Amino acid sequence: MHRLIVLGVGASALLASVAGAAITGVAGDVQLIATPPDARIDVLTSSDWVRAWDEKQNFTLTAGVIVDAVSPGLYNEESDLGTFEVGAGTAISSHFIHFDSPGNTAAAATGAVRFSHKILGVIARGDNGQTLAGRLDRTDYLGAPTLYSDNVEHRGLEFSSDWFRISADRLWIEFHFAIEAPGDYMRVVTEVPAPGAAALVGIASLVGLGRRRRD
């Protein structure tokens, strides 16, 4: 009886982990933190660490979201970016990558963030005077209730000094940021597994463990 109870708890935990699409690892000059209440400029600062956190999880878009990059590869020039849409009705999870040095001092950092499920799109443009600029601003609702600074020139990346790379399996994003004011910021949108897939994984695990119990 106790063994069956343990298996049930294990399956519940597995279902919970599969149902979301969270950050699962960081490397280099990156700290994974709890979702902060305030990420406005000059609030969450460090010269040494890029901060990363999860925003909305398993959220169904009521309107399409415009993103700058969707395909694996290196993005180190403005011309590498494009205009792509993650359509309304898509279930997504959102994640934020944040580098803001205190007092507008110069700083640089290199790191990587891994996600539990594949990247659907990366948003790297802020209010920087380009066509369809302000994509970070327009998607800040994905980070609510965290507070963000909007209408800030050059809130996104500047590719004279910044780059990012989406891994071939679309589970990692690597980057180098070099900042003064106002820092570098990116939002990453990832897939969410279908609820049915999560249930199947949980059931398969129970069946497999039960078979081993009988052997």
Domain map (residue ranges) of the chain: 1-20+195-215, 21-192
Q: Do the beta carbons of residue 107 and residue 166 sit within 8 Å? A: no
Indicate the length of the chain as a whole number. Answer: 215
In degrees, to the nearest 5, what angle opens at C-alpha 116 toward C-alphas 82 and 156?
35
Nearest alpha carbon to residue 97 among 160, 178, 39, 19: 39
Nearest alpha carbon to residue 24 among 97, 93, 114, 92: 114
User: Whole-angstrom Cα distance, residue 72 to residue 128?
Assistant: 24
pLDDT in the model for residue 132: 47
DSSP state letter for 36: P
Strand-strand pairing, 184-191 and 50-54: unpaired
pLDDT in the model for residue 150: 81
pLDDT in the model for residue 189: 98
3-state secondary structure of 42: coil
Is the pTM here over 0.95, yes or no?
A: no
Series of mean pLDDT values for 10-residue runs along the chain (215 residues): 28 37 94 96 94 97 95 95 94 97 91 97 75 75 93 81 96 94 92 62 36 37
pLDDT in the model for residue 168: 98
Beta strands in the chain (DSSP E): 23-28, 30-32, 50-54, 59-60, 65-67, 73-75, 84-86, 91-99, 107-115, 119-123, 163-166, 172-179, 184-191
Strand-strand pairing, 65-67 and 59-60: unpaired
